[in-house]
Amino acid sequence: MMNFAFVFPGQGSQSVGMLDAWGDHPAVAEVLREASDALGEDVARLIHEGPADVLALTTNTQPVMLVAGVAAWRVWLAEGGALPAAVAGHSLGEYSALVASGVLSLSQAAPLVRFRATAMQEAVPVGVGAMAAVLGLPADQVMAVCAKVQASYGDGSIEVVEAVNFNDPVQTVIAGSKAAVEKACEAVKSAGAKRALPLPVSAPFHSSLMRPAAERLKVKLAETVFAPPQIPVINNIDVAVESEPDRIRDALYRQAFGPVRWVECIGAIKARGIHTLVECGPRKVLTSLTKRIDPDLTAAAIFDPSTLGEVKLMLA
């Protein structure tokens, strides 16, 4: 079997019924039981029935996306799939990658992720922060525009706008205070961006406004027992592989208010001699990004029995 990496998506891929295609697969059923026990609620029912607006609440989205990623991973193993040479996850998906690597159990990760989501939601009141996707402008230009817009408010201003998700060479997500993000959206379009799309999110994730949430998360991380990784995990914040539990904790803490350097993560996977990436999640979000980041890489996704079979053939 060829060398490959597994990658796990973050928020945005969720949908009602996203695990239905697996039917009654024992591995998926076990994941749902573990998560339900850890959270004290029926996660299977939440995913199967929704409704969509409830599933879209950050405090629900983060745990269910963790579950969806881990479910695909467990099915892969149950069906005889080999271990990948590396794993990584986009934003929240890094927690799924840590479960796959054995650093955290699902029973540990599910409540940890829900705590993270709650802390993030409470850090900035709904309507105060915002995020937007900037399309068609190189990341360095987006960063320059954000710096110029923020500087326009003067020293000591509460207005913030920062580049927070580097998704592909010409797709960068910005986040911060609502007024500054709106001003930056107009500025990036004037600078040549094709579009600047406001995102339907409830908080400015990965911006410095999330620092209060990160401080709360830091305490919770310190209380959580981390095991050494069994598979290298390439983290978002440093694009680095850490083996010491304290360093993994610190990276997760800083990730909460720091950027997701996904383009560089894909480059780091390729630098390890890996040219095939498999996405574990309900859609093909990271698969599409991979192809735009580096067309020389092969990317596929596992989200139902059919795609599982396709990936097994591809890697044979």
* Catalytically active residues, by annotation: 91, 206
CB 287 within 8 A of CB 72: no
Token code pair at residue 36:
């339900």
Cα(41)–Cα(66) distance, integer angstroms: 15
CA gap 116, 191 in Å, rounded: 35
